[in-house]
Structures are given as structure tokens and as C-alpha cells.
């Protein structure tokens, strides 16, 4: 009897999910999203334009090809790396110093990676340096873009000191592009220890500084794997797809439609997308004899037999999710960083008797 009651409690629990989310701000759901509290970002709800196009692209692709691939759905081809979280950090390194040739621009770059949790592994980091517009410069006048890693605390006027920084890269360009991207995975990985993170110095040198004053901003994409993402690391075997005719009877165990709207629970100001999603739930009977499409365990098959002999003494097996799939959520965290995160087990695809 007790497990039957438990089945019912589960069903009622799901029916009350919306209410529960409203009443306690869904603290258990926040926990499932690995958040300690509901983020309260500063930007108003409709500032979706501040989400960079690259994140939108990944978000849309992820939720389109929902069916996880061999990698568990965690491969991000845009970064050529595995990851279930992509964060965008804004530069907090202060103002730009525009100067005269040969050093046209100097700027300190600092990204506060404290939002990364203990146990997260940085798998890729891309620094993006953006200018207001593309600009073609006279063919003979290239410029050098240099990045240094600051290795020692910085005092005023010490920026040029050869021992306080280490060259990371230096590249020549002919024209100003709207965006330049550099792989800084190794450096960002070490920045997880805050004392190691003294930032970078960006310098642009040229004989002719024209067009270089249109520097706009720098930002850092960080791709990481959270510690609970073992599925990304050990690819799961793909099930062979086969057609199973739907079990007869409306009351038999099967997935039921349940749409969870984030707006209904007051989360629309920090979840950027999706607005909600088809979460579904499992409901129905697990009658004797348990057919194959009810995905029962051997134990459940025996339990239905015993139940048919003694309905009072032994309950039917429970109708529960046996296959779930992930979705990606795009949101603002408390520091106004834009985060794209891949969450496992968010959607019920198949149910079974257990």
C-alpha cells in the first residue's frame, strides 16, 4: 500500500509543481539548476539584444537537436570543446588609454570568474575584442595586437615593466574588424584560482593610429563542464530506435503533456530563453500482464503478477520516467553575466513501470 500511496504522491506532486514554484520560488527547482538563490540581475527583462549572437546560435541549435548525440549532447562545435555551461564575462579592467603612435591603445583587461563553481573544469575560453565597425586602413599600414598576462600586482605607471607581465600573443593585422577572437583557454583555466587572476594587458601598436580609436569592448566566453556532468565524459550508448505501437487504453502508463512557463512563476526577468518548455510527466496504470511497451523491469513484471493475485496486499508498480532529455537555458546570473547552460534530465520522453 505504501508504494501505491507514493505513486499517488508523485502524481499529485507534479500536478502541484506550478503552485510549489510560486509558493517557495521553486527552491528545489533552483537547486536542480545549481543555483543557490534566484538571480536578480539588473537588466530589464527585454534586453535580449545584449545576448551575443553566438550564444543565441548555440542555444537554438541545442534545443533543436534535443536528441542527445553520442557525446551526451555536451559537445560545442562553436568552441570545439565539450561543455555544458557557456558564460560571457564582461571586461572590468577600467578605461582605455588612447595614445600616440607607436602605441595607439593600451588597456587592462580583467574578468572576474568567481561565478565558476568549485569542481567546474574550463574546457575553452575565447577572448573577443570588438570595434565599433569594420574599417579598411591603407594597405601599407598594418597594426600589431598584443596580449600580455599580468604576473604581478600592478602599480600605477608599472604597466611597461618587463617583469610584471608575460607576452601571450602578438599578431599583425591590416584592417580593423568588428571582432577579433583569441583562444585563451590555458590562461582562463588558471584564473579559477582568484589569486592567479591579475588580468591581461591589451596593446595595439601602429605607425598610424587611424581607426583604432573605435575600440568598443572586450569580453570573455568561458566554456566549462560542471562536476555533475559525467555523461559528457563517458559517452552513453545510443538506443536503437524502433517503433512500438502505443499501449491500448487511455489509463495505461505513458508520458502526459505538461508545459512549465517560466513567466508563470515570475522567472521571466532572469531566464532569457526559453520562455517555458514542455516538461511532461508520467501517469497511468501498470496492469497485469505488463506488456513490453510499458518498459517494465523484471521486478515490475513479477510485482504485477503478485498484484493480480492479491490486489490488497501488493500495489501495482509505479509509472515513472525512464528516459529524460536535456534542454539548454539562457539566463543572467547575479553579476549580469550571460550564461548558457545545458541541463540534463529536464524533459520526460518515455515512461515505464518500475
Nearer to ligand NAG, 33 or 324 (CB): 324
Nearer to ligand NAG, 54 or 125 (CB): 125
When binding is defined by CB under 6 A, the residue of 253, 300, 327, 329 that contacts ligand NAG is: 253
Contacting ligand NAG within 115-154 (CB under 6 A): none
Q: How many CB atoms lie under 10 A from the CB of residue 153?
A: 8
Question: What is the grid cell recorded at 277?
Answer: 518548455
> Is residue 297 within the footprint of ligand NAG (CB under 6 A)?
no
> Is residue 280 within the footprint of ligand NAG (CB under 6 A)?
no
Residue 33, classed as helix, strand or coil, is coil
**What is each CA distance from 79 to 144, 215, 226, in whole angstroms?**
25, 24, 17
Identify which range of 141-149, 184-192, 250-258, 302-310 contacts ligand NAG by CB under 6 A: 250-258
Nearer to ligand NAG, 38 or 137 (CB): 38
C-beta separation of 316 from 352 below 8 A = no
> Is residue 244 within the footprint of ligand NAG (CB under 6 A)?
yes
Identify which range of 2-10, 132-140, 204-212, 346-354 contacts ligand NAG by CB under 6 A: 346-354
Which residues are paired to 75 by β-bridges? 82
Name the minimum Å distance from CB 197 to ligand NAG: 8
Identify which range of 10-18, 50-58, 169-177, 287-295 contacts ligand NAG by CB under 6 A: 287-295
Identify which range of 40-48, 152-160, 264-272, 292-300 contacts ligand NAG by CB under 6 A: 292-300
**What is each CA distance from 333 to 76, 344, 346, in whole angstroms?**
21, 19, 20
Alpha helices in the chain (DSSP H): 2-15, 17-23, 27-32, 53-64, 185-190, 230-233, 298-309
Amino acid at each position: 500500500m505504501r508504494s501505491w500511496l507514493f505513486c499517488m504522491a508523485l502524481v499529485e506532486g507534479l500536478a502541484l509543481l506550478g503552485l510549489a514554484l510560486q509558493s517557495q520560488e521553486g527552491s528545489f527547482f533552483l537547486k536542480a539548476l545549481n543555483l543557490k538563490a534566484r538571480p536578480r540581475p539588473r537588466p530589464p527583462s527585454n534586453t535580449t539584444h545584449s545576448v551575443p549572437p553566438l550564444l543565441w546560435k548555440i542555444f537554438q541549435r541545442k534545443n533543436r537537436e534535443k536528441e542527445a548525440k553520442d557525446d551526451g549532447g555536451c559537445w560545442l562545435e562553436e568552441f570545439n570543446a565539450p561543455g555544458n555551461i557557456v558564460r560571457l564575462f564582461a571586461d572590468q579592467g577600467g578605461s582605455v588609454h588612447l595614445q600616440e603612435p607607436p602605441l595607439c591603445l593600451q588597456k587592462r583587461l580583467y574578468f572576474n570568474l568567481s561565478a565558476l563553481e568549485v569542481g567546474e573544469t574550463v574546457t575553452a575560453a575565447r577572448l573577443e575584442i570588438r570595434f565599433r565597425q569594420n574599417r579598411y586602413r591603407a594597405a601599407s599600414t598594418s597594426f600589431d595586437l598584443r596580449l600580455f598576462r599580468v604576473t604581478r600586482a600592478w602599480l600605477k605607471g608599472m604597466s611597461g615593466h618587463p617583469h610584471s607581465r608575460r607576452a601571450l600573443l602578438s599578431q599583425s593585422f591590416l584592417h580593423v574588424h568588428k571582432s577579433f577572437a583569441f583562444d585563451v583557454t590555458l590562461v582562463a583555466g588558471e584564473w579559477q584560482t582568484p589569486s592567479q587572476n591579475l588580468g591581461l594587458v591589451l596593446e595595439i601598436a601602429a605607425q598610424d593610429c587611424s581607426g583604432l580609436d573605435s575600440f568598443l569592448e572586450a569580453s570573455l566566453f568561458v566554456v566549462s563542464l560542471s562536476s555533475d556532468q559525467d555523461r559528457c565524459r563517458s559517452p552513453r550508448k545510443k538506443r536503437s530506435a524502433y517503433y512500438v505501437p502505443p499501449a491500448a487504453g487511455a489509463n495505461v502508463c505513458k508520458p502526459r503533456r505538461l508545459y512549465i512557463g517560466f513567466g508563470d512563476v515570475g522567472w521571466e526577468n532572469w531566464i532569457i530563453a526559453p520562455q517555458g518548455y514542455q516538461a511532461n510527466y508520467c501517469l497511468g496504470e501498470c496492469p497485469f500482464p505488463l506488456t513490453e511497451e510499458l518498459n517494465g523491469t523484471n521486478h515490475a513484471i513479477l510485482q504485477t503478477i503478485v498484484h493480480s493475485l492479491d490486489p490488497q496486499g501488493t500495489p501495482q508498480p509505479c509509472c515513472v520516467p525512464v528516459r529524460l532529455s536535456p534542454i539548454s537555458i539562457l539566463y543572467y546570473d547575479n553579476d549580469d553575466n550571460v550564461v548558457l547552460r545545458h541541463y540534463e534530465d529536464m524533459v520526460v520522453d518515455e515512461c515505464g513501470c518500475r
